[in-house]
């Protein structure tokens, strides 16, 4: 009963007489089934969604400063670093304030799944804003329209940030 060789087959908790030396065995095997039993279908769905959300978010976060600083010919906006810093700083401040004040209210008003779906769907708009801004800059330079589109894009990202609350 005390032989550590049996620990693989007997997945139960270590008995009270289990010696100290063999304790890593039973502890390890008792963890393994619990990790598998935890992965129920709804856990899979929740984790799948969380993973996809963070993948979308991180691709945007990685691309945003890259595209803002890339030259206009190569598909960016060609903004100087100081302007990018200012824009991202203002956005971050507003993002924080809006999410603190509006998240709970919107969640109740719209419904959790619906708000999440809307946030995910609106991501397409945030991504599409990049080529639209580039096209605008090519046509008319850094016009007011470019900043309007960027403002809309920021608003969408605020909404997306709310998806992380769900």
Partner 1 sequence: MFVTASSPTQDSLGAVNGLAQTATSIMRALGPVSATSFFAISVEKNLLGGNFVYFVLILLTIVAFAAAQLLPDEPWPRETGEEGSQIIHQNTTYP
Residue pair 158/94 in contact by the 8 Å Cβ criterion: yes
122 phi-psi bin (left φ>0, alpha ψ -120 to 50, beta other):
alpha
Q: How far is the CB of 102 from partner 1 (least distance, A)?
A: 12
Helix (H, G, I), strand (E, B) or coil at 4: helix
Q: How far is the CB of 3 from partner 1 (least distance, A)?
A: 29
Burial class (CB in 10 A: 0-12, 13-18, 19+), 67: buried
Contacts to partner 1 from residues 4-63, by CB under 8 A: 34-35, 37-40, 42-43, 45-63
Residue pair 77/134 in contact by the 8 Å Cβ criterion: yes
- Site pattern 68..97 for partner 1 (x: CB under 8 A): ------xx----------------------
Rounded Cα–Cα distance for residues 165 and 96 (Å) = 13
Residue 67 contacts partner 1 per CB under 8 A: yes
Rounded Cα–Cα distance for residues 91 and 124 (Å) = 19
Task: Find the part of the chain contacting partner 1 (CB under 8 A) among 1-9, 10-18, 94-102, 125-133.
Answer: 125-133
Rounded Cα–Cα distance for residues 137 and 126 (Å) = 17
Q: Whose Cβ is closer to partner 1: residue 132's or residue 145's? A: 132
Task: Find the part of the chain contacting partner 1 (CB under 8 A) among 78-86, 93-101, 119-127, 139-147.
Answer: 119-127
Name the residues that contact partner 1, by CB under 8 A.
34-35, 37-40, 42-43, 45-63, 66-67, 74-75, 103-104, 107-108, 111-114, 116-117, 120-121, 123-124, 127-128, 130-131, 165-166
């Amino acid at each position: 009963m005390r032989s550590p060789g049996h620990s693989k087959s007997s997945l139960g908790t270590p008995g009270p007489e289990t010696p100290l030396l063999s304790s890593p065995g039973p502890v390890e095997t008792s963890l393994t089934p619990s990790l598998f039993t935890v992965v129920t279908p709804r856990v899979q769905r929740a984790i799948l969604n969380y993973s996809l959300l963070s993948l979308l978010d991180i691709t945007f976060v990685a691309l945003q400063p890259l595209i803002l600083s890339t030259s206009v010919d190569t598909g960016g906006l060609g903004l100087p670093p100081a302007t990018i810093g200012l824009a991202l700083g203002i956005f971050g401040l507003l993002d924080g304030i809006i999410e603190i004040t509006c998240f709970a209210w919107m969640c109740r008003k719209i419904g959790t799944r619906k708000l999440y779906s809307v946030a995910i769907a609106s991501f397409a708009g945030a991504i599409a804003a990049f080529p639209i801004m580039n096209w605008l800059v090519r046509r008319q330079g850094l016009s007011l329209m470019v900043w309007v589109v960027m403002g809309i894009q920021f608003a969408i990202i605020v909404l997306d940030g709310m998806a992380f609350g769900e």
